[in-house]
Amino acid sequence: MSDPTRPRGPRIIAIANQKGGVGKTTTAINLGAALSHAGHTVLIVDIDPQGNASTGLGVEADARETSIYDVLLGEAELADTIRSTEVGDLLIIPATTDLSSADIELISTEKRSFLLHDALRQPAVDRFALDYVLIDCPPSLNLLTVNALVAADSVLVPLQSEFFALEGLSQLMLTVREVRETANPRLRIEGVALTMYDKRNNLSQQVEEDARENLGDLVFQTVIPRNVRLSEAPSFAMPVLDYDPSSRGAQAYQALAAELIARND
């Protein structure tokens, strides 16, 4: 569905939550793969210095000649850092550990919050005919995450089905509001996806109830179960859809992709 005549650019979605280990990277990789399996061209932008999305899609650390770091520092064009993966129509810009100092290096740069926004809109990107860009954010509300929120049309929040999950959310929502007021008025919430859900666990059910009561339709109907296939797949450098297509994890991310596509139609 990469229609070169389409009037607007890709839908840019930041996958953010300042808590670590809640399923951001797992969602970026597997939602990205599911969207690409559904016929869309998808670019994952890894902006976490840990580079887990890059590793999980088979871009080893010593093979990252250029990365998003070079783009943010103005030393490479974004289009020149886009790499293919083993999954058809799933592309990635890798991250490298030097990203961890980007905050400080960019402190005196004018428009430092707009670096990713501007880079994604460089004309050379058009030739990739991207349908979706998923930005895998670091576990922090730092300049990197702000760059993602300024660049994005929407933010998708993975919420781990655990106690205190909702508490961290208010800080993120505050940051979203600030970005909306200062830099990106069109930023909206794509949705909240419950992750690592265990239906036998009362706590998971409680978190789901609370989330649906407080956030209403913002919470995706699809819930991502805790599924060991999802945690195994990255060590084989594969999305779960390729590693074990019949697993519950694979089916959940396909359902999430279908819901996302339906919401945006």
Amino acid identity for residue 261 in this structure: I
Helix (H, G, I), strand (E, B) or coil at 88: coil
Q: C-beta of 168: minimal distance to ligand ADP in Å?
A: 11
The answer for residues whose C-beta is within 8 angstroms of residue 137's C-beta and 6 or more apart is 14, 15, 16, 17, 24, 47, 48, 144, 145, 148
* Residue 235 sits in the site that holds ligand ADP (CB under 6 A): no
Instruction: Rank residues 149 and 261 by Cβ distance to Mg ion and give the closer one.
Output: 149
How deeply is 24 buried, as exposed, middle or buried, from its count of CB atoms within 10 A (0-12, 13-18, 19+)?
buried
Q: Amino acid letter at 260?
A: L
Site membership for ligand ADP, residue 172 (CB under 6 A): no
Exposed / middle / buried, residue 213 (Cβ in 10 Å: 0-12, 13-18, 19+)? exposed
Asked if residue 214 binds ligand ADP (CB under 6 A), the reply is no
User: Measured from the CB atom, is 81 or 247 closer to ligand ADP?
Assistant: 247
Binding residue (CB under 6 A) for ligand ADP from 12, 14, 16, 22 = 22
> Residue 177: in which H helix or E strand, if any?
helix 165-182
Task: Give Cβ neighbours of residue 263 (< 8 Å, ≥ 6 apart).
Answer: 190, 191
Q: Minimum distance between the CB of residue 153 and ligand ADP, rounded to whole angstroms?
A: 21
Residue type, 63: A
| Partner interacting with residue 9 (select from Mg ion, ligand ADP, none; CB below 5-8 Å by kind) | none
For 145, residues 6+ apart whose C-beta sits below 8 A from its C-beta are 14, 16, 18, 47, 137, 138, 175
**Closest CB to Mg ion among 16 and 125?**
16
Residue 254 binds ligand ADP, judged by CB under 6 A: no
CB closer to ligand ADP out of 147 and 247: 247
The SS3 call for residue 76 is: coil
Q: Is 139 in the site for ligand ADP (CB under 6 A)?
A: yes
24 forms part of the interface with ligand ADP (CB under 6 A): yes
CB closer to ligand ADP out of 9 and 139? 139
We find the least distance from the C-beta atom of residue 28 to Mg ion, in angstroms, to be 8
Compute how many residues bind ligand ADP; rule: CB under 6 A.
17
Residues that bind ligand ADP (CB under 6 A): 20-26, 52, 139, 195-196, 224, 226-227, 230-231, 249
